[in-house]
Chain A
Amino acid sequence: MIQHLDPWTFINGAYAVSALFLAGASLLAWRRLRRASAHLTQAEGL
């Protein structure tokens, strides 16, 4: 018997994984850059 699958479940999953990765990676990179910049400014002031 051929099982009918709703493709939108899989489409939504693929887009969600992509969006979560891009957003998460961007957020982590931005936070790391901001922290590094703040620490450098602090170290230069010493």
Chain B
Amino acid sequence: MNGEQKALVERWRSFLDKIAERQEEIIAEATAGCAQLAAQHPVDSLPLSNALSGLDHRIRQLDDRIEETWEQQVEDKFSSHGSEFFDVGIDMRKDAEMALEHRWQTAKAKIVADHARSLYQLALAKFDEQPMCERCGAPIQPASRTISETIACGACGAQNSYQPAMEIQMYRGAGAHALAEEASLGLRQELERWREEVDRWRRARDWAPEPLESLEQWRAKELACWQRYAEEKAKLLGEPVDQAYVDSRMQYFDKYQLHMNQIWVKAHGKG
């Protein structure tokens, strides 16, 4: 790398670092704001979800700035030094974009998971409440506090249509999903970084096909992500692992990724 190239890399790095700093500022303020919002609406997930949609847009604007700056001011400068140096610039851009995306995913997953953790405490408190017959006020005993059921009152015989408390319903629905997603996010991001490495390996070999071992590794990593999610969710809900869910995700992956690849199909077929 000559002096001019080094200076160009420095300037591009400095710009990308500034975008990352900006993102950190947004995340710091977003985390505080979301915590306040979640405290104001502990059971209702809609305000938090609305805020995160708005914040998604703000984060995407940072991506847009990288794209615009690359296309309008940087791309030509890198390409004027030849294709090898051009790759240096484009790799820096991709690394920065992926780092921004992963940083926001992690921050967002933590915000939603923190909400789920406080929801869990509220749900636990609801387990201690004794449901009463709506007609005569005598205690009724649901078989489970987590599912809807009809319970005959032992005192007056009235049929009580029992529904789990909203705190319990919300935790079992959105809460457990958020916590399981947070637990499996690291694996997913590791997989994405590895896929980028594979792409660069292929590019360095004139876009050679990905070897079968690498494809098999890809499948194993994809399976590990979904398995981790399903196992964590099962643990949180005290239920068996939903293997059908994992299988359905893998079927989708096989169909749209591996079954499109001739090397995979030749070795394993489409079964």
**Do the two chains bind?**
no
The chain B residues found within 8 Å of chain A, CB to CB, are: none
